[in-house]
């Protein structure tokens, strides 16, 4: 690809290099590299099912060790709330209250989402705020027809000259209504962290946010921090970061040319949540809890949620301790064939590592090199919930182009939809990835891993978009818990559905996990 002087200056100012941009061009032009699913991970075959007595064991293990550890809760929180209200924007565009009643509209459109929404307005955490604003803006609101009142309710939520909820980051929307106040998802994450992600009565949380929302997050933190600290008995260290411009990617036109804006400048696009690996890589903690901003519950469920987080963390600590013992032995060189057998048994049974077929015939020296390289990696313990048809990724055994089989979290977009057997495996998977991870990111010497070395760069996503009326092929980096963690050691654990309560649409806030009554 040939670049002008202006192109080169723009690329360098963005923190990129010509070589990196050419690598992006190559990835797009070569086409998407799909995952090769061997089989779905199931309980007993890649997914642990923990019995009650074992749950207590892992919780107690974590409780004993937590004050010796530094911990952080890492929360991707940059997304705007726009998609939560998509069906409401469509409602405003398609319903005319002067031409038909709301009941007739819902029946004609068979619009279950709008029906659910209008039937449950009073359950919405924002209900009182919206009604208060409506009466300021529409003095005769109570005199309007039912359809007109519903229109004004939605407009009050969404219009930029009213509450403008769709502009807000999802983390700062009203999520839960309690007796005396309404809590945001951001606030709930702080409370949750006090239950399971604090040591020595201090909780560290790191939120990746959009820079345009930084002031709003800081204002909310200033408003709530003192009260939460008083209620929980914990102090909080809250930090924020933005997706780095160096992780932005270019896009290509249908003619395989780099897409440029009307002024001739290269279009750089955010590259998906895989870009956040850089933010994660900047942290220096023993344990990292990862959970999405919208996956929170009301306070009455905190203890249950907390227990399962502690179970995952306890499993991590137990496996990590044994891993480190083996690595110290390997470093000393005080190991024989029997010792190697004990290590490979551990690798297979505890870390889900599939041993290479030619391992048995290798020399002792080669075996030592092999097991040391496989063991000395970041470890992630991931909760998995039973599949109830949610869109997204799941746990699978995957074979790469070298014939190596490993346990991975795979998104539906990584599956070749033209191969019936692959789609069948995806559709019949028993479990789903709720993004519920506990990660060990330090090695046996206490040094932080360079997480960028454990990425499968071929697992990038290529998506079709439209930019200013032009069809483009856009590049997204390997997903944070997909290709970006492809070469981590992975342990998947079945957890109950109560641990997975995402808010993808505003109607999700009506569900029991988000209601106090």
Domain ranges of the chain: 5-81+268-497, 82-167
Sign of the Cα pseudo-torsion (49, 54, 59, 64, in order): negative
pLDDT one-digit tens code per residue, 296-313? 999 999 999 999 999 999
Task: Say what the pTM is.
Answer: 0.96
- Of the candidates 458, 445, 431, 443, the one whose C-alpha atom is nearest the C-alpha of residue 488 is 443
DSSP 265: P
Q: What CA dihedral angle connects 439, 488, 362 and 333, to 10 degrees? A: -40
- Answer yes or no: is pLDDT of 389 > 90: no
Q: What percent of the chain has pLDDT over 70?
A: 99
Q: What is the pLDDT of residue 65?
A: 98
Tokens standing for 170?
A: 């999802």
Mean pLDDT, range 67-85, rounded to an integer: 95
pLDDT one-digit tens code per residue, 338-350? 999 999 999 999 9
**Dist CA 73 CA 436 (whole Å):** 11
Residues 6+ away with beta carbon under 8 Å from 360: none
Q: What is the pLDDT of residue 334?
A: 82
**Dist CA 398 CA 414 (whole Å):** 11
Q: Name the band, by pLDDT with cuts 50, 70 and 90, for residue 79.
A: confident
Q: Name the band, by pLDDT with cuts 50, 70 and 90, for residue 391.
A: low
Contact between residue 350 and residue 318 where contact means Cβ atoms under 8 Å apart: no
Query: What radius of gyration do the chain's Cα atoms show?
Result: 25
- Of the candidates 110, 94, 272, 293, the one whose C-alpha atom is nearest the C-alpha of residue 185 is 293
Mean pLDDT, range 160-181, rounded to an integer: 96
What angle, rounded to 10 degrees, do the helices at 302-332 and 185-196 form? 60
Q: For the chain, what is the mean pLDDT?
A: 96
Q: What is the pLDDT of residue 28?
A: 94
Q: Name the band, by pLDDT with cuts 50, 70 and 90, for residue 443.
A: very high
pLDDT one-digit tens code per residue, 234-285? 999 999 999 999 999 999 999 999 999 999 999 999 999 999 999 999 999 9
- Answer yes or no: is pLDDT of 170 > 70: yes
Q: What is the pLDDT of residue 517?
A: 77
Contact between residue 250 and residue 475 where contact means Cβ atoms under 8 Å apart: yes
């Amino acid at each position: 690809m040939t670049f002008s002087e202006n192109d080169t200056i723009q690329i360098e100012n963005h923190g990129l290099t010509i070589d990196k941009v050419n690598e992006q061009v190559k990835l797009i032009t070569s086409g998407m590299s799909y995952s090769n699913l061997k089989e779905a991970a199931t309980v007993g075959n890649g997914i642990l099912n923990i019995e009650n007595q074992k749950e207590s064991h892992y919780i107690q293990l974590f409780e004993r060790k937590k004050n010796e550890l530094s911990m952080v809760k890492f929360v991707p929180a940059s997304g705007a709330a726009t998609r939560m209200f998509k069906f409401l924007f469509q409602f405003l565009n398609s319903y005319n209250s002067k031409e038909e009643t709301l009941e007739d509209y819902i029946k004609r459109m068979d619009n279950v989402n709008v029906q659910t929404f209008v039937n449950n307005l009073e359950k919405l955490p924002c209900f009182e705020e919206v009604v208060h604003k409506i009466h300021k803006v529409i003095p005769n609101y109570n005199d309007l027809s039912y359809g007109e009142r519903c229109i004004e309710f939605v407009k009050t939520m969404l219009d930029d000259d009213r509450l403008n909820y769709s502009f807000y980051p999802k983390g700062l929307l009203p999520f839960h209504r309690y007796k005396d106040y309404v809590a945001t998802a951001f606030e709930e994450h702080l409370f949750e962290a006090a239950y399971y992600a604090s040591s020595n009565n201090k909780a560290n949380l790191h939120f990746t946010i959009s820079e345009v929302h930084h002031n709003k997050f800081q204002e909310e933190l200033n408003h709530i921090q003192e009260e939460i600290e008083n209620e929980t008995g914990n102090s909080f260290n809250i930090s924020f970061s933005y997706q780095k411009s160096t992780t932005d990617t270019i896009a290509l036109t249908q003619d395989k040319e780099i897409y440029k804006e009307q002024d001739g400048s290269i279009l750089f696009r955010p590259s998906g949540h895989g870009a956040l690996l850089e933010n994660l890589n900047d942290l220096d903690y023993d344990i990292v809890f990862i959970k999405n901003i919208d996956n929170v519950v009301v306070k009455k469920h905190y203890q249950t949620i907390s227990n399962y987080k502690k179970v995952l963390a306890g499993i991590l600590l137990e496996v990590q301790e044994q891993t480190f013992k083996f690595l110290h032995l390997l470093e000393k060189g005080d190991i024989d064939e029997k010792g190697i057998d004990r290590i490979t048994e551990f690798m297979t049974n505890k870390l889900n590592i599939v041993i290479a077929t030619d391992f048995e015939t290798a020399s002792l020296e080669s075996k030592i090199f092999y097991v040391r390289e496989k063991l000395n990696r970041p470890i992630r313990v991931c909760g998995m919930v039973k599949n109830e048809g949610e869109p997204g990724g799941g746990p699978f055994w995957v074979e790469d182009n070298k014939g190596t089989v490993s346990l991975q979290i795979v998104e539906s977009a990584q599956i070749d939809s033209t191969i019936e057997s692959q789609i069948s495996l995806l559709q019949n998977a028993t479990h789903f990835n709720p993004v519920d991870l506990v990660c060990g990111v330090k090695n046996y010497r206490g040094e932080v891993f360079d997480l960028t070395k454990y990425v499968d760069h071929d697992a990038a996503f290529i998506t079709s978009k439209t930019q200013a009326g032009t069809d483009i092929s856009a590049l997204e980096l390997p997903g944070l818990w997909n290709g970006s963690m492809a070469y981590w050691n992975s342990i998947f654990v079945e957890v109950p559905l109560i641990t997975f309560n995402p808010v993808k649409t505003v109607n999700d806030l009506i569900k029991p996990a988000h209601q106090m009554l």
